[in-house]
Structure 1
């Protein structure tokens, strides 16, 4: 497999002295008129922004590594080749890419720490992921799942959006609403997530934990009425783990600030979830979510009363 550095002519003129051996140059016109259809090509693309042409390239090619603020001479060729063989588009800020390659080089098998080290704290995904995991655990336990299943569902909740590591941060943090093409591109994070799980969690492949993580990463955007993605599954084909995480993911996301909107309060988020039940969400899961939130509110009130008594 050849690995290509895709760049503009003027960029090449600035960087050609630092280009490491092993990379073959492809020049791309400002209009993006080049044909990117060649199979078994892995492209390292330098780009300051991610426009429609870049998105189409990522969708069409099997392997693309887009780097913002790329310093081509700092890439380790053997590790880039490792990424190339995984056959998935990857989007990174350079600092995160270096961190990622370092972890791969150490063969870090502790995937929870692996994920924690990679979460881009700047866009709130770290907090959201653990909130989804925590809520999913509480709901699973109240629904009567055994402790092994509860642990698996909690971990899967934390990792549900792992595929977003393969999307550009500047793209995800854009303050504008997504176009249809951009939405299609973002929906690919479930595919990238599945590839990630198969590639890096393979040592766990004969465990229940692996199966639940794979299921949730792939299906947490499915909806009971078949309107979700990527397979359009209906209620009977969606596991309880994915039903739980689909609810907690949306619920938590609504209460997180996003560049294009402010966070909802808890009551409004719950109201939205209830309005989409049972078309999208499982009634039993939503019922338990409401119970969990009521219990948390009661506990908070009780704790505040105890604090006041202690102070007086």
Structure 2
């Protein structure tokens, strides 16, 4: 028992975390992450095998050699699987993996398979060394496992450093902390091979990511926040007789643009899962400032005068202030920033002739440039009390004519190139009323 105390403790912690995760998932009915689930299946087996090999390597006189060799090979294979699964999970958390963007998944699976091939190929070279406190194994297969871990996790650190401006702050800190701690543990294992602390790595990963990202109870609270945001936006929309369904339609257009941007090389370093989620969730709040607009202007059954329009334009500035006040205690700083930018700057124009600040070009936050296209397109395509809805052809022409003046040229092109999908969304929206 003296050789497997650490592994036994790690296994208890992991099994307790898994039990809590399953119970909370069933209670909250929150969708779980498939890659994290894979880690929960692989890592406990790796810990069990770590304990088994720690025992067999110290009882070589009573354990058949082929049993010891086989268990060591399985242990190294499962550790390699844990490394690949963890890397895939972290990449999915930071950047997002989808059916349309599965290249990272293929890459990490390929490197994982290569590691396992090398581990199996070098299995015959495993050596069992007698230490002062405990015996341990060394050889080509062990080195492959170490190298694989440093390469995979090193890539994640490079990804975070190179794209730090666009990755959520909390995820950056938490991921870097976990990877550095794992790196320290493995370095200690390499320098002091008798310590046999490999099982701490999957334990730290499972526990750390459960606390930081996968706790279903915290995910449920986040969903409540999203529901509150949408309810808040609907409250404002219900005051405006002119914009029924505007929130839902513009959000759909924003999601479409974001999905297309993800596969555009120009935005590959910008678009990730958190940016897409935050912009999509902030889109309904773009007109939140209208809550401060007087009813006689907001609900006027006709075209506004110049004076009334000046008052109406203040909704952008008011919207930014309301966001800061309403969400000042929100932990998600990235969402709060994006929601503020969407509300305040979605009426800025690419040529600098918009409001409230007259920003131009890329001075306008990216999320607001996206919102501007969705907002204008929906506004001209829907009926107002002072005019009829414009034909789809004319609506697309307005976006086309606004390239470089009203709208970001690249984003406008992405929207126009998605005409079929836009028209499908328009038709779906029309059928739902």
Normalised by the length of structure 1, the TM-score is 0.57
SS of equivalent residue, structure 1 residue 188 = helix
Are 2:425 and 1:277 equivalent residues in the alignment? no
1:143 is the counterpart of 2:261: yes
Tell me what 2:361 maps to: 235
Residue 133 of structure 1 corresponds to which residue in structure 2? 251
Higher strand share: 1
Q: 1:171 aligns with which of 283, 297, 300?
A: 297
Matched, 1:152 2:278: yes
CA distance in 1, matches of 2:253, 2:341: 18
1:39-67 deviation per Cα after TM superposition (whole angstroms, max 9, x unaligned): xxxxxxxxxxxxxxxxxxxxxxxxxxxxx
Partner SS, residue 320 of structure 2: helix
Match of 1:123 in 2: 241
Q: Which of 210, 218, 222 lines up with 2:336 in the alignment? A: 210
Say if 1:298 and 1:156 are closer, same or farther in 2 by CA, change over 3 A: closer
* Residue 126 (structure 1) shift: 4.5
Residue correspondence of structure 1 range 179-218 to structure 2 within 5 A: 179-204=305-330, 206-218=332-344
Return the alpha-carbon distance in structure 2 between the equivalents of residues 245 and 206 of structure 1: 20
- Alignment: residue pair count: 195
2:341 equivalent to 1:223 = no
Aligned structure 1 segments of 4 or more residues deviating by more than 3 angstroms: 295-301
Q: CA distance change for structure 1 residues 291 and 185 in 2, over 3 Å: closer, same or farther?
A: same
**Unmatched 5+ stretches in structure 1:** 1-107, 302-312
SS at match of 1:195: helix
- Change over 3 Å in CA distance of 1:198–1:297 after alignment to 2: closer
Give the C-alpha shift of residue 186 in structure 1: 0.7
Is the contact made by 1:166 and 1:189 (CA closer than 8 Å) also made in structure 2? Answer: yes
Q: 1:211 to 1:205 in 2, by over 3 A?
A: farther
Give the direction of change, closer, same or farther, for the CA distance of 1:275–1:300 in structure 2 (3 Å limit): closer
Structure 1 residue 148 displacement after superposition: 1.1
Asked if 2 retains the 8 angstrom alpha-carbon contact of 1:173 and 1:259, the reply is: no
Deviation at 1:153, TM superposition (A): 1.3
* 1:205–1:259 CA distance, 2 compared to 1 (3 A): farther
Deviation at 1:117, TM superposition (A): 4.2
Task: Compute the displacement of 1:296 (Å).
Answer: 5.0
CA distance in 1, matches of 2:426, 2:322: 39
The CA deviation at 1:258 is: 1.3
Aligned-partner SS, 1:229 = coil
Q: In 2, distance between residues paired with 1:295 and 1:242?
A: 21
Residue by residue over 1:221-247, the C-alpha shift from the partner in whole angstroms, topping out at 9 and shown as x without a partner, is 101111001111010201211111011
Correspondence for 2:229 = 111
Are the equivalent residues in 1 in contact too, given 2:286–2:346 (CA < 8 A)? yes
Verify the 8 A CA contact 1:256 1:263 in the aligned structure 2: yes
Q: Which residue of 2 aligns with 1:22?
A: none
Secondary structure in structure 1 of the residue aligned to 2:246 = helix
Distance in 2, matches of 1:296 and 1:205, equals: 34
Deviations 1:89-146 (A, max 9, x none): xxxxxxxxxxxxxxxxxxx993323333453176253511121111111101211221
